[in-house]
Amino acid sequence: MIERIDTGTRSSKIVKHNGVAYLTGQVAEGETIQEQVQACLDKIDALLAEAGSSRQDMLRVTIWLADMKDFNGLNEVWNAWVPAGHAPARACGEAKLARPELKVEFIVDAACS
């Protein structure tokens, strides 16, 4: 069974299937990469909770940076947020994002109840 949560015209915020929650890409406002990363991670926390999951249950995270020069700033916030011993599989690359002010986008898959 597939469960879609908060479905709109283009996407659902969460899709659950066979014990996995797939979160829609998360972006956020902020002047610095650290502000945008923290705001995205706050949104991810809320979506994981809504899906019956948590940071400890993340399976895979894909991170797109508008500019790889922000890699260290991303990791500064990310490393403090990921629970020790629960780091997911992760990929990080550079991509043109939907709006020029966006610096980062996260895509998260996590085990869920």
User: What is the secondary structure of 71-86 as a DSSP string?
Assistant: HHHHHHHHHHHSPTT-
**Tens-digit pLDDT profile for residues 42-93:** 999 999 999 999 999 999 999 999 999 999 999 999 999 999 999 999 999 9
Q: Residue 113: what pLDDT?
A: 83
**Tens-digit pLDDT profile for residues 16-49:** 999 999 999 999 999 999 999 999 999 999 999 9
DSSP 22: E
- Find residue 15's DSSP bridge partners: 4, 22
Number of structural domains in the chain: 1
Q: E strand or H helix at 105, and its extent?
A: strand 104-111
Helices then strands, each counted (H, E), the chain: 2, 6
CATH code for position 25: 3.30.1330.40
Q: Residue 49: what pLDDT?
A: 98
Buried b (16+ CB within 10 A) or exposed e, 17-48: eeebbbbbebbbebeebbebbbbbbebbeebb
Q: What is the dihedral of CA 43, 4, 93, 60, to 10 degrees?
A: 90
**Tens-digit pLDDT profile for residues 70-81:** 999 999 999 999
How much is the pTM?
0.96
State the residue range of the domain holding 56. 2-111
